[in-house]
Chains A and B, each alone.
Chain A
Amino acid sequence: MPRTPSEDTPAISIRHLHKWYGAFHVLRDVNLTVARGEKVVVCGPSGSGKSTLIRCINRLEEHQKGTIVVDGIELTDNLKRIDRIRREVGMLFQDFNLFPHLTVLENCILAPVWVRRVPEKEAVQTAMHYLERVRIPDQADKYPGQLSGGQQQRVAIARCLCMNPRVMLFDEPTSALDPEMIKEVLDVMVDLAQTGMTMVCVTHEMGFARTVADRVVFMDGGEIIEENEPEAFFAAPQTARAREFLGQILSHGQQAAGA
């Protein structure tokens, strides 16, 4: 199993991907290549298969047809490969999924110590470094339940970064947050993007997509039906469904702003 970390292999390469839930065909012939350092925003109506797609990338969901190659490693049933890929791919969830029985610091050092076998002292140093980067070093000894949603999501980002991943996946990281906390999380994500991290981000935050994304992917009904640079996509969506979708989230945004 040759590892090809050369700079021109794509970070993620998905070819003719199909997935079924029972008889339900959720993903239909999805093709997507993400270059190293590229930021891709995935959007689309609810139920279009966005979560399913990015969860296939780190094998939280199994695909039935097609190939997924992450960082030069093809995803198969081979558990070793799955482990290697999961170590290189960090994931952020809508509802944070911090471990509530561990402190913020313990959350951050758990995987480095037990998976990468980093000595504890070193792991703590790394964790504090990343907690500073997400601007909450002072909360290190608190439990997740004592933090606000925005703080929890930032801890989750730090926890991922402690594993030093090559790719990060985001599944609607701000949609469970109160409006006043969305910005603090997005700011951290923008910082992260500037460090050159490869990011695949499911989000409806159009401002974030505009400033950060290299490409926007629009999904509907389990298919990618439009792919474009953000400015072009937002200014002139090519398909009727994308126009309709953008119309809906924009009018919702205006309502929210007006209320």
Chain B
Amino acid sequence: MYVKHERHPELPPPPSELGALGWLRHNLFSSWGNALLTVASVALLCWTIPPVLRWAVLDATWLGDTRDACLDSAGACWVFIKVRLGMLAYGFYPQAERWRIDLFFLLLVAGGGPLVLGSLLPRRGPARTLATRGLAAAGAGLALVLHGLLPGLLAAAYLGLPSLLARLRAPAAPGAAAKLGLALLAGVAVHALAPQGVALAAGWTALTLTALVLLVPRADEQGWRLALLLTALPALGAVLFLGDGTWLPEVETDRWGGMFLSLVIALVGIATSLPVGILLALGRRSSLPVIRTLSICYIELIRGVPLISVLFMASVMLPLTLPDGMHVDKLLRALVGVSLFYAAYMAEVVRGGLQGIGRGQYEAAQSLGLSYPKAMILVIMPQALRLVIPGITNTFLGLMKDTTLVAVINLMDLLGVIKSALADSQWLGFTKEAYLFAALAFWVLCFGLSRFALHLERRLRYEKH
């Protein structure tokens, strides 16, 4: 028989496990192969980095605003980028109207920023409220200072609305509320059909807000912020960018360009491909054969062709099939092409997530009386999407970079603008600078997105069984 009475004392780990030396040993020199790899990598870095650094930073020309400034330097000529910055950012959007783009992105940052901040800060407590409301207030203030009284008021209204809405209560009786809502919606929709852009945006905002207030029993400030971001802001953006012909001069889409156009395509693509993808994924798992077959055909068809050919088809073939005199804007065609193309990929990502959710979750939701849409929205999708955040991010990143393909149908996105800037006879020969700038711009955007997704993934990881 053996009985142990004393507990073994706790000992510190051996020294080889500790400190910088321990780390080096573990990670860089754990074996001969590893050590060799470490040395080779360091050598490679020493060989490649200094020349690039010398060209791009040390020998580069930063000052001046004519080509002559760069004549006697061996390094990069960033003056070229500086002089063309407006065009790279906005394309051929009229100088006097560019504030409209600035205002939109200001609203995007001040309205979406709190959501990002909210996910970074602790769930409860004053820090979060302070930071999110502070950002909203700062956004409104900035709009007032930069763009004047009316834009300032618009920004204040947009950014302050979520706090107000969160204080509203949903009416108790859903039946009556739904009817009231429908009546209101119809009225607003009619009003919104008026061809003036500002009225349209107001109508759309009112419509969505009424619907949301009536149908959603609970939403906090952040919830409303997200709702506005997905409904009112796009409408506002469309009006700001296009103009309404009365208050804001119209700007045709063929003058849109540069980073602005790239961002518009990316944002629209991201905002539409995910919901459409979710619907397609649900369709593919549907028990109704017609819906299932249609979804499968769509997904497989789209995934089988390159995006370029989809874009070409949308820009060359579509006009041929349309009746005479009917004109669909080229940008709109590209937007639809990119969105529908990426929706097919998104559908498969989401389907992967749905497969990770056990039958028990559906049954628990059903047995509690949740209808199919409610079970999906409240129970299944939050879990399924969380599972596939890496896949979704991946698809978004691909989409963001593939926006550059619209250059082949002569849209002036960042690469398109660069191409035309390079063709300027005054500034020949700055290809390297231009494309490096484009690469950097995309890298910053994509890296930011990927870091945020990574953070979201960690934040949303609930304790597993």
Q: Are A115 and B370 in contact (CB under 8 A)?
A: yes
Q: Are A114 and B374 in contact (CB under 8 A)?
A: yes
Set A98, A115, A119, A159: member contacting B374, Cβ < 8 A: A115
Q: How far is the CA of A91 from the CA of B369 in the complex (A)?
A: 11
Set A83, A93, A100, A120: member contacting B462, Cβ < 8 A: A100
Interface residues of B (CB under 8 A from A): 169, 172, 174, 217-218, 360-361, 363-371, 374, 378-379, 382-383, 386, 460, 462-465
Q: Are A83 and B360 in contact (CB under 8 A)?
A: no
Set B169, B174, B217, B364: member contacting A99, Cβ < 8 A: B364
Q: How far is the CA of A113 from the CA of B366 in the complex (A)?
A: 15
Q: Does A150 contact B (CB under 8 A)?
A: no
Q: Are A117 and B218 in contact (CB under 8 A)?
A: no
Q: How far is the CA of A256 from the CA of B371 in the complex (A)?
A: 43
A contact residues around B460 at 8 Å (CB) = 101
A contact residues around B217 at 8 Å (CB) = 113-114, 117, 119-120
Q: Does A58 contact B (CB under 8 A)?
A: yes
Q: Are A97 and B462 in contact (CB under 8 A)?
A: no
Q: Tell me the smallest distance from the CB of B265 to a CB of chain A, in Å.
A: 32
**Residue in chain A with minimal CB distance to B367:** A91
B contact residues around A83 at 8 Å (CB) = 369, 371
Q: How far is the CA of A93 from the CA of B111 in the complex (A)?
A: 43
**15 extra interchain contacts, Cβ-Cβ under 8 A, other than A93-B360, A111-B370, A119-B169?**
A58-B367, A90-B368, A99-B365, A99-B379, A99-B383, A100-B464, A101-B383, A110-B378, A114-B217, A115-B369, A117-B172, A117-B174, A119-B217, A144-B463, A145-B465
**Residue in chain A with minimal CB distance to B372:** A79
Q: Are B361 and A99 in contact (CB under 8 A)?
A: yes
Q: Does A246 contact B (CB under 8 A)?
A: no
Contacting B at CB under 8 A, from A151-168, are 159-160, 163
Q: Tell me the smallest distance from the CB of A155 to a CB of chain B, in Å.
A: 12
Contacting B at CB under 8 A, from A20-58, are 58
Q: Are A143 and B368 in contact (CB under 8 A)?
A: no
B contact residues around A114 at 8 Å (CB) = 217, 370, 374, 378
Q: How far is the CA of A4 from the CA of B367 in the complex (A)?
A: 22
Q: Are A95 and B368 in contact (CB under 8 A)?
A: no
Report 27 cross-chain contacts, Cβ distance below 8 Å, ordered by A residue.
A59-B366, A60-B363, A60-B366, A83-B369, A86-B366, A89-B367, A90-B367, A90-B368, A91-B367, A93-B363, A97-B363, A97-B364, A98-B364, A99-B361, A99-B365, A111-B369, A115-B370, A117-B217, A119-B169, A120-B217, A143-B463, A144-B463, A145-B463, A145-B465, A146-B463, A159-B368, A163-B368
B contact residues around A110 at 8 Å (CB) = 368, 370, 378-379
Q: Are B367 and A86 in contact (CB under 8 A)?
A: yes
Q: Are B218 and A113 in contact (CB under 8 A)?
A: yes
Q: Does A87 contact B (CB under 8 A)?
A: yes
Q: How far is the CA of A246 from the CA of B365 in the complex (A)?
A: 35
B contact residues around A60 at 8 Å (CB) = 363, 366-367
Q: Are A86 and B368 in contact (CB under 8 A)?
A: yes
Q: Are B369 and A145 in contact (CB under 8 A)?
A: no
Q: Are A111 and B366 in contact (CB under 8 A)?
A: no
B contact residues around A89 at 8 Å (CB) = 367
Contacting B at CB under 8 A, from A123-141, are none
A contact residues around B174 at 8 Å (CB) = 117
**Most chain B beta-carbon neighbours within 10 Å: one of A83, A101, A146, A163:** A101
B contact residues around A58 at 8 Å (CB) = 366-367
Q: Tell me the smallest distance from the CB of A121 to a CB of chain B, in Å.
A: 10
A contact residues around B378 at 8 Å (CB) = 110, 114
